[in-house]
Amino acid sequence: MNNFKDNFNIFNYDLEFIILKDRVLDAIDFEKWLTLDEISQILHIKGFNLHNNEILKLLNFLIIESGSIIRRDFSNEETKYFKVNDYVKKSNYTKFYSNLNLDGLKKTIVISDTHIGNPNLEDYLLINSIYDFAIKKGISTIFHLGDLFGATKNSKVEELERELNLFLTRYPNLNEVKTYALVGNHDKYINDYLESGAFFETSDLRALTYFNPNFYMFPYNNSYNSYNTGSLTSYLDNLQVHFSHFLYISYMFSYYPINGIKDLIKYPANLFIDLNNDILLSGHIHQAFFYNIYHQDFKHNTFYLGVPALNKSNLNKSIGYILNFNRDTNNKVISIDIEVLQVDINYNINIKEVIHHDFNKECKTLKRLL
């Protein structure tokens, strides 16, 4: 296997590239959302003889390294780009390089905890199987809820580079499927290594996009508690959806077991700040479960899905979900069908069961392992 630094050099991070990306930034002086093809047309008119894959690489660099471009996905099912002004460029907003709006999303797969680099857990046959399954089902989006890598605080530099190499050489890189990933607690050590400036001046885990243009890693997030390394709140038409590696609530379930979901009433409502969301999804625990949570202090019904691990620990068990969003004639999401995915020892993926949840009906509070 090539040295990770040698692989990283394929992105031509040199003076010529720096000059080119600055010229491109000046050339696409636009103040509206544009598609890759529209940007390509502008550059062609201005004398740039660049292929779309070269422009995409430059745009990703401008997003990740300088924060001078932001990307919006799920806009009429086509990615669009926007050049930020100086005020936004200097603000914290550029830390979140993608304005992820899920409006119009009909179907997606959710996975978690692949633990690349951990020989006791990593399973590339399983990872490839889920991507092949997505293509077979015509699903073009996968959400990975963290712990892509298996690094620990004791990992040496050569071990971190090995894990990055494994991602580069073995993780599916398919044009048909886009992956959106959060930072997990194990991923943080890879993120810290990249942030040390070993390669790019301001690099972090978002640099994985340079390796795999269809893999988008959201930034490390120091949020309201030290356990929540990666999280993202977005909107799906009329619903608020929160993706996380692990929320405070899942942290409590994991380390402070409670006897039945009704015991939640013993805890102050202000601990459960994420229960304002309509849908919660998190990984970390490696188990598949769901909770319907109705809390008196919120007067709000929250559907919480624990996403299982996509690794060896779950062979012959649940490994992820297909989320199907059902809409009414006004394009308002009224219900969700969750197809629970299971794999056998021959890596055949099948649908174990389907769970239906109606957002317009008050649900009973319950807890269930899948």
Instruction: Provide the pLDDT for residue 95.
Output: 47
Percent of the chain at pLDDT exceeding 90 = 36
Question: φ and ψ at 244, to 5 degrees?
Answer: -155, 155
137 pLDDT above the threshold of 80: yes
Instruction: Provide the pLDDT for residue 25.
Output: 82
Q: How far apart are CA 171 and CA 77, in angstroms?
A: 24
Record the tokens describing residue 356, joined without a space: 């239906």
Instruction: Provide the pLDDT for residue 224.
Output: 44
2 pLDDT above the threshold of 80: no
CB burial readout 158-195, b (16+ within 10 A) else e: ebbbbbbbbbbeebbbbeebbbbbbbbbbbbbbbebbb
pTM score > 0.75 for this model?
yes
Q: Average model confidence (pLDDT) for the chain?
A: 79
200 pLDDT above the threshold of 80: no
**Do 4-98 and 102-369 fold alike per CATH?**
no
Which has the closest alpha carbon to 321: 361, 351, 287, 291?
Answer: 351
Q: How far apart are CA 246 and CA 29, in angstroms?
A: 39
5 pLDDT above the threshold of 80: no
- For 24, the 3-state DSSP assignment is helix
Q: What is the mean pLDDT of residues 14-38?
A: 78
- For 231, the 3-state DSSP assignment is strand
For 210-240, the pLDDT digits (tens) are 778 889 888 776 544 445 577 788 888 888 8
Residue predicted with more confidence, 211 or 356: 356
Residue 172: band (very low, low, confident or very high) from pLDDT cuts 50, 70, 90: very high
What element of type H or E holds 191?
helix 187-195
143 pLDDT above the threshold of 90: yes
- For 98, the 3-state DSSP assignment is strand
What element of type H or E holds 291?
strand 289-295
Residue 12: band (very low, low, confident or very high) from pLDDT cuts 50, 70, 90: very low
Instruction: Provide the pLDDT for residue 294.
Output: 65
Instruction: Provide the pLDDT for residue 297.
Output: 57
Residue 24: band (very low, low, confident or very high) from pLDDT cuts 50, 70, 90: confident
CATH architecture for the domain at 102-369: 4-Layer Sandwich (3.60)
CB 111 within 8 A of CB 146: no
Cα R_g (the chain), whole angstroms:
21
Instruction: Provide the pLDDT for residue 92.
Output: 40
Instruction: Provide the pLDDT for residue 235.
Output: 84
Q: What is the mean pLDDT of residues 181-189?
A: 92
- For 131, the 3-state DSSP assignment is helix
Residue 275: band (very low, low, confident or very high) from pLDDT cuts 50, 70, 90: low
With tokens 């988008």, the residue in question is 216
CATH architecture for the domain at 4-98: Orthogonal Bundle (1.10)
The full set of domain ranges for the chain reads 4-98, 102-369
Q: How far apart are CA 127 and CA 285, in angstroms?
A: 18
Instruction: Provide the pLDDT for residue 365.
Output: 56
Instruction: Provide the pLDDT for residue 170.
Output: 93
Question: φ and ψ at 56, to 5 degrees?
Answer: -60, -40
Q: How far apart are CA 280 and CA 285, in angstroms?
A: 14
Instruction: Provide the pLDDT for residue 264.
Output: 47
- For 325, the 3-state DSSP assignment is strand
For 297-325, the pLDDT digits (tens) are 555 677 889 899 999 999 999 999 999 99
Residue predicted with more confidence, 194 or 324: 324
